[in-house]
Amino acid sequence: MAEKVLPDHVLELVVDRLNLPDLYRFGWVCKSWKSVCDPMQFQNYLPWLIVPFHHNPNPPFEDEPFYSFEDYKHPHNTKMAFQEDDMIGFFSLTDNKTYKVEIPELLNRRICGSCPGGWLITVHENSQIQLFNPLTSSSKGRVIHHLPPLTEFPLMHKTIEKKENEDAPTYLYYIGTKWDADFHKSLGRDENFCDDAKHVRDGYIYKVAMSSSRVASGTILMAIQDRGKSLAFYRIGSHQHIWTSVSLYVKHCNLTDLTFFRGEFYAVNCNGYVLRVHGLPQVDDDEQGEQERPVISVERTIDNPPVRHASQYYIVESSDDLLVVLRYLGNANGSKRADRRYPYKTVAFRVFKLEFAKPNNNWIQIESLGDRSLFLGYNSSFSVLSNDFFSCKPNCIYFTDDNRWRFSKRNFGGHDMGIFHLEDGSIDTFLYPSGTHYVMPPPIWFSPYPSN
């Protein structure tokens, strides 16, 4: 009866005045109420965190805590994707609760990109890459954009099936050229790789950024490919269903994060220096003649910040400034330096602004973010105005665990999450107890609103 009495515009006025727990309960009254207040549609709250709905604190093979090359080469025990029997959770920092959400499009796929506007990029071990927004749907279900597969990346060649012996199961493998093939070739080593499908799914695409939070013909997706080494892009609507290389030069590799800023893509290297990509075509190559095609180039914008080398670097736009964030890791046992054999944890952050100036660009250390907060991790890094969201703490860095290189150690990974207060350097924990050392698949931020 309620759904006949209250029109949609009245329901929306009510929804705007409810907090998250009440919104969730409100949506279960009837179908029409759920259509305007499904938890996946709420806007004025902190970004969701996609997590396993049921957390298993016991990592596989807990009695073998040390890293080995074979763990990394064949990480069948590292669970980077949701499996068929997993339940997906959306955790809200507003009420510290995890809500079960049905997103069948995520099953058996690793989330390799989470971009403002609610866009998720997923990759399957069978090579499929998809782009979709779980907030949007049509009468036929969610709209899925099928991106060029893994096999269409510049250094990929083909897939094969093989097994180690007659009694072993058959696995899918990818064959491609190593990013530093010339170096291996000069030493007489094999310049190609042959990696199993799960390894490629979980490591070949590190991060993805988009040129717009609106997906339309011409929108560009830029990926850090080959385990964080170099860049490749795809333009939505392109006649060529391939990923195009931006730079394969060694000096432009080992990238850790990228963002779209003032009409161009910027990336940060593992040593902290910043690269700018320019010359990306504004239209599809097929619509341009050979003489009109711009030259795509990558240039170093500035060297690394003048401080101690960090464990991880991020690059993010905030209030029309370009920031580089340095993350420092230590050991969970209290040591300030991370040891690859033991659980790690974040101990500090530093923030620098890139000041564009002539003749040289400069670094300015930022002591305060003001009323803004940053969200960092496997997602495309973003900032928000804290006043726009329930319970969002200003001048803070919300971070998740994207330390992929240490996930392959069998008893920890995905656990390093928290809220860093830039004012005093303190760190708040959330969702999991402070002693948690294993969370798989690793949590990732989901931002349902457009970038600003």
* Confidence tier at 389 by pLDDT (50, 70, 90): confident
Q: Which amino acid is at 305?
A: P
Grouping H, G, I as helix, E, B as strand and the rest as coil, residue 205 is: strand
Residue type, 171: Y
Where are the extended beta strands (E) located within 191-291? Answer: 192-196, 205-210, 220-225, 230-235, 244-247, 255-261, 264-269, 274-278
In whole angstroms, what is the distance from residue 256 CA to residue 342 CA? 22
* pLDDT tens for each residue of 60-79: 544 443 334 344 444 444 57
206, 230 Cβ separation under 8 angstroms: no
At a CB cut-off of 8 Å and minimum separation 6, what does 205 contact? Answer: 112, 113, 121, 123, 129, 150, 223, 224, 225
Report which of residues 38 and 370 the model is more confident about: 370
Q: What is the pLDDT of residues 79-108, one digit of tens each?
A: 788 887 678 888 888 778 787 777 889 989
Mean pLDDT, residues 23-45: 63
Q: For position 2, what pLDDT does the model report?
A: 47
Of these ranges, 11-20, 184-193, 282-291, the one predicted with the greatest mean pLDDT is 184-193
pLDDT of residue 207: 94
SS3 track for 384-442 = EEHHHCCCCCCCEEEECCCCHHHHCCCCCECCCCEEEECCCCCEECCCCCCCCCECCCC
Cβ-contact 4, 32 below 8 angstroms: no
Query: What pLDDT sits at residue 77?
Result: 46
**Per-residue confidence (pLDDT) for residue 295, from 0 to 100:** 75
pLDDT, residue 443, reads 93
- Closest CA relative to residue 349, chosen from 313, 403, 316: 313
202 compared with 451, residue with greater pLDDT: 202
Q: How confident is the model at residue 10 (pLDDT cuts 50, 70, 90)?
A: confident
Q: Check residue 73 and report its DSSP letter.
A: H
Q: Are 162 and 179 in contact (CB under 8 A)?
A: no
pLDDT of residue 75: 42
- Mean confidence (pLDDT) of the chain: 82
CA distance from start to end of the chain: 40
Q: What percent of the chain has pLDDT over 90?
A: 41
So what's the pLDDT on residue 420?
A: 98
Give the residue-averaged pLDDT of 189-215.
Answer: 91
Mean pLDDT value of segment 300-306 = 88
Sign of the CA dihedral 177, 379, 299, 327?
negative
* pLDDT surpasses 50 at 170: yes
Q: What pLDDT does residue 326 have? A: 97
Q: Which amino acid is at 419?
A: I
Residue 174 has pLDDT above 60, yes or no: yes
Q: What confidence tier does 109 reach under pLDDT thresholds 50, 70, 90?
A: very high
Asked if the model's pLDDT at residue 145 lies above 80, the reply is yes
Question: What pLDDT score does 447 carry?
Answer: 87
Query: Dihedral sign, CA of 267, 444, 394, 346?
Result: negative
Per-residue confidence (pLDDT) for residue 53, from 0 to 100: 81
Residue 444 has pLDDT above 80, yes or no: yes
Residue count of the chain, please give it: 452
> In whole angstroms, how far apart are CA 34 and each of 14, 263, 393?
13, 38, 29
* Residue 361 clears pLDDT 80, i.e. is over it: yes
Residues 6+ apart with CB under 8 A from 134: 40, 101, 103, 105, 118, 120, 142
Q: DSSP assignment, residue 286?
A: G
What 8-state DSSP symbol labels residue 296?
P
State the pLDDT at residue 248.
61
Instruction: Flag the least confident range among 111-115, 185-189, 348-352.
Output: 185-189
Place of tokens 């989901």: 446
User: What is the rounded CA–CA span in Å between residue 438 and residue 119?
Assistant: 26
Q: How far apart are CA 274 and CA 255, in angstroms?
A: 9
Residue 45: its pLDDT value, please?
Answer: 62
Helix and strand numbers (H, E) in the chain are: 8, 28
Give the tokens for residue 245: 């290389």
pLDDT at position 98 is 82
- What gap in Å lies between CA 229 and CA 260, rounded to an integer? 18
